[in-house]
Amino acid sequence: AQKVTQAQTEISVVEKEDVTLDCVYETRDTTYYLFWYKQPPSGELVFLIRRNSFDEQNEISGRYSWNFQKSTSSFNFTITASQVVDSAVYFCALTPGVGAGKSTFGDGTTLTVKP
């Protein structure tokens, strides 16, 4: 069985602060994919990043960075110099890499960035 835990329900920061959103996952699969999605108030899921289980390289994209550590089953997401437009719900998700299995989402973290 798969499980994704986002322990932080809500985070509030002031603009320009750095913020890290935690994601811990459980799976018995050796091959899997991890995702982060942003969900603005309009409701759509905006894809941010996918990472496969064989690629532990950390990634940076502009103000966003991701730290994938298989040893601790974590895939954390950091926003540097946060902006008001970053305010949204962020979901971490896990998909098996073998078979046509379903994606499992975390409960989401609501990020509020105040001016």
Partner 1 sequence: EPEVTQTPSHQVTQMGQEVILRCVPISNHLYFYWYRQILGQKVEFLVSFYNNEISEKSEIFDDQFSVERPDGSNFTLKIRSTKLEDSAMYFCASSLGLGEYNEQFFGPGTRLTVL
103 near partner 1, rule: CB under 8 A: yes
72 near partner 1, rule: CB under 8 A: no
Kindly state the smallest distance separating residue 36's Cβ from partner 1, in Å: 12
3 near partner 1, rule: CB under 8 A: no
Applying CB under 8 A, the span of 55-63, 66-74, 78-86, 99-107 interacting with partner 1 comes to 99-107
Q: Which residues contact 11 (CB under 8 A, 6 or more apart)?
A: 19, 21, 109, 110, 111, 112
47 near partner 1, rule: CB under 8 A: yes
Rounded to whole angstroms, the Cα distance separating 112 from 54 reads: 33
- Answer for the pair 63, 74: CB distance below 8 angstroms, yes or no: no
Nearer to partner 1, 86 or 106 (CB): 106
Kindly state the smallest distance separating residue 77's Cβ from partner 1, in Å: 16
Binding region for partner 1 (CB under 8 A): 31, 33, 37, 43-45, 47, 50, 52, 91, 93, 95-108
